[in-house]
Amino acid sequence: MNLLAQILIALVALLHVYFLVLEMFLWDTPYGRRVFRLTPESAAATKVLAANQGLYNGFLAAGLIWGLCLGTGGGAVKIFFLLCVFAAGVFGGLTASRRILLVQALPALLALVLLLAG
């Protein structure tokens, strides 16, 4: 179960690297607008805010990767950053889009449950 938890944590980290790229670099491209269901006007108006949000997603990914690099001694780091990802996912799901609950909060929760069960 521990290996499965580590794999899921790595996937959550990679997902947040993807969010970073989407929000910091692809926000106002056709692909970014399609993913976030934005008009060209709204994408242009919110580009700086999205880049800031992307940077925070990068910090979440970095924390999870740091925890993975620490190995078995990184349990507290992994738990902390998974809780941060989960909290951000719940907040986003309640305030922005229910989709965020499935894409961000649920994978973090599953990884956390597996980590704690291991």
Amino acid at 103: V
Q: How far apart are CA 38 and CA 2, in angstroms?
A: 39
Q: How far apart are CA 91 and CA 4, in angstroms?
A: 26
For the chain, 118 residues long, give each residue's pLDDT as a single digit of tens.
699 999 999 999 999 999 999 999 999 999 999 999 999 999 999 999 999 999 999 999 999 999 999 998 999 999 999 999 999 999 999 999 999 999 999 999 999 999 999 8
Q: How far apart are CA 99 and CA 54, in angstroms?
A: 17
* Count of Cβ atoms closer than 10 Å to residue 72 Cβ: 8
